[in-house]
Structure 1
């Protein structure tokens, strides 16, 4: 992925997760039901419930916001594109309804050598200052150990004593520094724990349990406010697969500490979250992945009185610098659904923001409409629709267009164009959940039918935020011949008001072509992209994966429903492309 994306996403999301996720999917859907009962793990011990104080604190932290890619950045706070932290930032965050911040911190690059592993005094002072700034604004703070997880903690299995000594020294210093801070400061043992060169999950679980127990012993033993401070413990990879949850439940049963909470992360159904395998919409599969995840977490912990923090949530490929990977309306449906279901399952959510949501220089939301959807989801549902786009051909007859309303328990109140309400019966009709825009209304809205958005409507509901609908004039996109090399190919494209949704790639023999050879629908950015108004780009990674001198047929799928085919061939280091 690009360096810009690397700065915007947390460390785990800068590496490929395809092999592990595919393996997990196969096990979950195919292999696991075939295993004999004796191969399944025994039920984990039932951990005792957390105290009312712990549950109250986690509830009071809802909703939360991550100060991502700042104190976790490498090597320093501004290295990944964000400005220094100011009081005004926390005032803005609080004014937008957030009750807590998660403060990811990478400690290891600011430490001295063995045996003391002394944390640089200036770095500790910076962390202390930002904690105090947030606390002074009446925000809860969740402070953690972040990218250390993959920088040095992950070698615990092969360098056990050295890693454990360093981990102990690091948390001993952090605990001493913050032992007398407000109880609104909580501590998280480690971010997205992962271990290298292990024999498998049983060893991974044992190593994580050892780390969490050391963390618990150090913090509780440091006295002061730490004796009863809220401690947050992650699952392996902060993943919500049942085995990860069961392993953490076993840890909690062993610790028997009433002031603990648990944490997992959630970035959506993986194919949808990165635009691969044709998952361009927040569909029933994506919904089921989300509800299944939150149900498992609820059943494992919150139903037993143990609070849960979704310590990070967003979409893996969401990036304001790269619009189009996940279509705007589909993003909104995802965040609307997530906020509501988390609320129904009593989960505290913390938005992962590495600068892609809140511009920390201007203190303005990069997409105010999207944030409005997120904020509304904390308290209520909003109506949506099957799409936020209505396409009208540039030439030829204008016909009526239909959308399906997702009422989500609301009542449809009507349509507006700017300050003008559209008239029901003349401009639109509603039958059940079907909204139809009439040909007469669309004709007036598109005007001279210039390519692109000609009008924007608002569908209003009895609760939540309005649903935006763009009325777009379009023609079938036109792609032109191109030649280049395996470093990448820019295909001249006249989009003519349309937008690219995804790309299929197949050889003439019917086999899938591209880096993801398990699907014909390739991944946005890995195989292709479309960020400019004049070209579709095919990547070096795409051409590296192709067979030599074998023609590949690309099918570009556009949001209007148009499909355009195109041929490419690689011959040595030369590539050529032409319309089908």
Structure 2
């Protein structure tokens, strides 16, 4: 067994001692409004500050945790830390995350593969030491830390309905060991009972009973372990961390029954599902998607915050972004994150961004999409204006016409429209009236030049507050596809995109019925059923999609592009062979 490196925070910069006087702690109590308005746009590295005192009031303490970031796919990876593609977590990484403006970090941990057998379920001391090392680094950086029991939820706690006694014994043994190992950690450490708890083979009533039992036992075990655990902030989830009203009501009942003022409710939110993964034709952040977001945050506020129970949104994001580029169009994604940040602030919900490596490059210590992070960060403190699109498509041939975008001003005013450092002239290059921005035909003609396919120019609309809105001016022609053959394991539709960008794909049999694995809609899921490869000039149809098709049945594919163009293609599967034709 390899000896683990001892925690190093004692040899680093001087930190606030665990025994900080209560008077100093009281001085650190911050109101929500102040806490949610302390972050600027500068994400340059800076010296880590001493841990802030933890307010005695749980609501204020949770406000101090805003904003947060998840160390996803690391210590929760199965079976070991680097098995899901992320590098081993370092002190430098946590320093870098803290420098981005985050005040808390959620450290998901899967314990299953590091535990012995019944009846003791002993956690490997080396693994416990490694988890403690990462926790201590984060606390030394001044971060609040949320530590949980993560994928164990579907690995073994989900069997509780059929194996109740063994699950309870293992759950209690796991938390007894964690609580003992961390009982002297400062109050910046928060325990979360279990991530996205789920229960097999049980009806809704029984599921609610089992989750109440686990949450209640977790509370009892931790509080009885002594040390700082007697007053530590504890976080309890809804079933699967879903923010449905019934499930939140169940959790509120559990929390009230425990009569403990230092408890936190937690749920997760990844948006309206069809939009989040780009399925069923939900490609835009429209009124339905926005309505789902607003109603969900209002439910959090009414069920918990208004009743004096603080809420941590333990994970948020877009599922499509986690599963590969392009699923959710970038401008629509920016609108989603802008609106989510506003909803969180106004409903007093602390947010923890789920990052499995999609957002922050842990090897290069930089954001993979810096503009996206600027939008997220800005939403912590203010609103930003957006527009109906971040792309203006100009046809390859024919006359160029004026093109208009609807602005979502969100209380801001347009201050400038620029191309690089050059300021465009209002009235000559564009017009702006109310919430409508119109690019003049002469301006577009100049910007597209010889109309070579693709992005010919990038404009930036500046506003009185928030981040600017990028507008790409793109020349395009209708995409062209060609016949080909392949197999269910490897099939690509040859596609000359000619400057256009794929939005979604429909699939139907000759009788009009839906084709593909997502049989409830003709619109298939981006990156799951199909995925564009612009560099290779093709659209890949996945084995999952192709194997779901009926043998020898002709399937009509309709590809929808962001310019508004559509292209029809046909595929036929015969055994493992696939034929594709344009007619």
Partner of 2:496: 494
Q: Residue 121 of structure 2 is aligned with which of 102, 117, 124?
A: 117
| TM-score, normalised with respect to structure 1 | 0.89
**Aligned equivalent of 1:180, options 173, 178, 184:** 184
Distance 1:171 1:536, change over 3 A: same
Correspondence list, 1:326-341, <5 A: 326-341=328-343
1:217 maps to what in 2? 220
Match for 2:302 among 287, 299, 307?
Answer: 299
1:233 Cα offset (Å): 0.2
| 1:359-374 equivalences in 2 (<5 Å) | 359-374=361-376
Q: Determine the C-alpha separation between the residues in 2 that align with 1:561 and 1:577.
A: 23
Alignment of 1:131-530 (within 5 A): 131-198=135-202, 200-319=203-322, 322-530=324-532
CA offset at residue 101 of structure 1?
Answer: 0.2
Separation in 1 of the partners of 2:431 and 2:235?
A: 51
* 8 A contact 1:488–1:543 mirrored in 2: no
For residues 246 and 530 of structure 1, what CA distance do their matches in structure 2 show? 43
Distance 2:83 2:189 in 1: 26
Query: Shift of residue 544 of structure 1?
Result: 2.3
Which residue matches 1:60? 64
Alpha-carbon separation, structure 1, partners of 2:261 and 2:361: 38
Secondary structure of 2:472's match?
strand
Q: 1:128 and 1:521 mapped to 2: Cα distance?
A: 46
Aligned residues of 1:570 and 1:576 also touching (Cα < 8 A): yes
**Matching residue of 1:35:** none
Within 2, Cα distance between the matches of 1:83 and 1:485? 35
Q: How far apart in 1 are the matches of 2:255 and 2:114?
A: 31
Determine the structure 2 residue equivalent to 1:555.
558
Structure 1 residue 552: Cα displacement: 1.8
1:336 touches 1:381 (CA, 8 Å); kept in 2? Answer: yes
Tell me which moved more, 81-90 or 180-189: 81-90
Of 128, 131, 134, which aligns to 1:127? 131
Question: Which whole-Å CA distance do the structure 2 matches of 1:407 and 1:577 have between them?
Answer: 45
Is this contact kept in 1: 2:391–2:471, CA < 8 A?
Answer: yes
Structure 1: how far apart are the matches of 2:489 and 2:358?
Answer: 28
Instruction: Report Cα offsets for 1:476-498 as digits up to 9, x if no partner.
Output: 10010111223342110000000
Q: CA deviation at 1:571?
A: 3.0
Write the distance in 2 (CA, Å) between the matches of 1:60 and 1:183. Answer: 12
TM-superposed deviation, 1:396: 2.1
**TM-score, normalised by the number of residues in structure 2:** 0.89
- For residues 195 and 531 of structure 1, the distance between their equivalents in structure 2, rounded to whole angstroms, comes to 39
| Offset at residue 52 of structure 1 (A) | 6.0
Which of 71, 77, 85 in structure 2 is aligned with 1:73?
A: 77
- Single out whichever of 202-211 and 85-94 deviates more from structure 2: 85-94
Q: Distance in 2 between matches of 1:210 and 1:315?
A: 31
Q: Is the 8 A contact 1:240 1:264 kept in 2?
A: yes
Other structure's SS at 2:77 match:
coil
Q: How far apart, CA to CA, are the structure 2 residues paired with 1:540 and 1:222?
A: 51
- Unmatched segments (≥5 aa) in structure 2: 1-54
Partner of residue 539 from structure 1, selected from 524, 542, 546: 542
Structure 1: state its 5+ residue gaps.
1-50
Shift of 1:196: 1.1
Q: Which digits, 9 at most, give the CA deviation of each residue in 1:72-102, with x for residues without a partner?
A: 0111111111112222212211111110000
SS class of match (1:435): strand
The answer on whether the counterparts of 2:283 and 2:503 sit within 8 Å (CA) in structure 1 is yes
Alignment check: 8 A CA contact 2:324 2:527 kept: no
Deviation at 1:549, TM superposition (A): 2.7
Native 8 Å contact 1:323 1:531 kept in 2: no
Cα drift, residue 378 of structure 1: 0.3
2:398, 2:354 → 1: CA distance? 46
Aligned partners of 1:544 and 1:365: how far apart in 2?
37
The residue that corresponds to 2:87 in the other structure is 83
- Cα distance in 1 between the residues matched to 2:549 and 2:392: 37
Query: Does the residue aligned with 1:204 lie in a helix, a strand or coil?
Result: helix
1:28-56 deviations in whole A, cap 9, x for unaligned? xxxxxxxxxxxxxxxxxxxxxxx961111
Greater CA drift, 165-174 or 370-379: 165-174
Report if the CA contact (8 A) 1:383-1:407 is conserved: yes
- CA deviation profile, 1:390-429 (whole Å, cap 9, x unmatched): 1111222211111111101111112000001000001100
Q: Which moved more, 1:445-454 or 1:464-473?
A: 445-454
* Structure 2 equivalent of residue 29 of structure 1: none
Please give the secondary structure, in 2, of the residue aligned with 1:409. Answer: coil
State whether residues 552 and 568 of structure 1, in contact with CA within 8 Å, keep that contact through their aligned partners in structure 2: yes
CA contact (8 A) 1:503 1:521 kept: yes
> Which of 492-501 and 531-540 deviates more?
531-540
- Say what the alpha-carbon RMSD is for the aligned residues: 1.2
